Amino acid sequence: MTFIANPGKKLEIDVDGVTYLRLPIKTRLITTKDTDILPLLVEYVQPHLVPNDLIFVSEKALTVTQGRIVNMSDIKTTSFARFLARNVGNRYGTSDFHGFGHGTDMAMQLFLEEAGYLRVVFAAGISALTRPLGIHGLFYTICGKRAKSIDCPMSFLILEYAHFAKLSPNDPDGAARRIKKHLGYETIILDANYRGAFSLGKSTRAISEEFIQKLFKDNPLGQSDEMTPFCIVRPFFTSVI
């Protein structure tokens, strides 16, 4: 198989002096009829694995197979969610706009339910106090990765998901360990977007967040209708493509 980079992306990246290949794996559309992520990985990823590879799985794909998506019409928003959403700086209407993030009432409502109202209030207060000092990002640090990974809508370009919101996957660490047990390769459940990447689950703590952020800083899996939810990461010196 010949691996092709997604439009505007590249396969190679240098991380701390080592060149890695990020090999995107294209699949059919994954739906809630796929109730287990493992058969998909066996079908699409396993045939291409070689020693020293790492497996990266989009948390969105895992979420779908767990059935953790919500029809946007079923989300009942509160006044507090609407207030918070109005204060999310997503740069809507400018050339820097890349998506609404948690700037919609529905996304913020799900965010509140995931993180908990008290934690969100505390995080908002700390953020308001520290932002004038040039300290950014504490709101999401306090609220946690699971809440941060909520997305609404899931996709603008994939019609099947244009009216759905995505929750955080359940037990992503357990899912990563299960994949490692069956396929024999270290696995990371990845949340990546135009702002960068972070892990939601890992089969080993030996793979650092700093490494993941550098490796996927340009999100080579894409952010729209590429349908490349899996990625094999391979040190260049073992490259077989």
Domains located in the chain, CATH noted: 12-68+169-238 (3.30.1330.100), 77-90+99-152 (no CATH)
pLDDT at 99: 52
Amino acid identity, position 106:
M
Span of 18-27, 29-38, 42-51, 137-146 with lowest mean pLDDT: 137-146
Both tokens of 46, joined, read 């396993």
- At residue 151, what are phi and psi to the nearest 5 degrees? -140, 140
pLDDT digits 0-9 by tens, 43-56: 999 999 999 999 99
- At residue 7, what are phi and psi to the nearest 5 degrees? -55, 130
pLDDT at 104: 84
pLDDT at 52: 95
User: How many angstroms separate the first and last alpha carbons of the chain?
Assistant: 7
* CA 240, chain centre distance (Å): 27
pLDDT digits 0-9 by tens, 191-218: 987 777 999 999 999 999 999 999 999 9
pLDDT digits 0-9 by tens, 149-168: 998 888 767 878 889 999 99
pLDDT digits 0-9 by tens, 70-124: 999 999 999 999 888 887 755 444 454 445 567 788 999 999 999 999 999 999 8
* Mean pLDDT for the stretch of residues 169-196: 94
User: 102 Cβ partners below 8 Å, 6+ apart?
Assistant: 84, 85, 88, 108, 111, 150, 152
CA atoms of 204 and 146, how far apart (whole Å): 19
pLDDT at 51: 96
